[in-house]
Amino acid sequence: MGQQELRLQAKKLLAANPDIVFDERVRIEIPVEDVPFWLRFSSEWGGAVYLLDETNNTRVEHGLITQEHYEFSKRTYRLGLIILSGLYDQLKAWQDGLAQPSTDHKETYVYEMNTLDCFFIPAYLDDFSRIQTMDKESCEKYIQLILVQLTSKTTIDEAVHAIETMADEYIRNIHLWA
């Protein structure tokens, strides 16, 4: 499917139900021993995204970017912050639950990733791996795990383009559905 067809399909799906971006796309399992990595990643990268959002404000104030670019970047950064904060909160609560005796608590955290998670998390892991080289192996492992899940029914290029197109359309038009 071509880029234009993907964009039209994304617009049509979002017009019918903008919450489609919150439907589960893939699941990955995070073993208990990897939870500290994920907590560190979501916390540290959330701080980085916050700083990017602040820089974005300064750039528009100084006329370095257009208002349209500012709005798109602001939505992107803030959605990214929501994704990372939500992941951190869910993992922290899950980890804290490990200390409580329970028969229904699993030894792995099941991360049910929606379209926005699939858009942001692999890209953030890739960026994080360049800054925190000690975590490069973990980042690459989870990027590959996500890509394998996404490509179970299609090629990697098609899966990535579909996720990117849906997320891009959602970010550009979120103000219409808010």
Residue-wise pLDDT tens digits, 113-128: 999 999 999 999 999 9
Spans of all domains in the chain: 28-177
**Burial track 138-174 (b if 16+ CB lie within 10 A, e otherwise):** bbeebbebbeeebeeeeeeeebbbbbbbbbbbbbbbb
pLDDT interval class at 104 (50, 70, 90): low
pLDDT interval class at 159 (50, 70, 90): confident
Its pTM stands at 0.90
Q: Which two tokens stand for residue 100?
A: 């409580």
Torsion of CA 132, 133, 136, 139, to 10 degrees: 10
Model confidence at 167: pLDDT above 80: yes
pLDDT interval class at 6 (50, 70, 90): confident
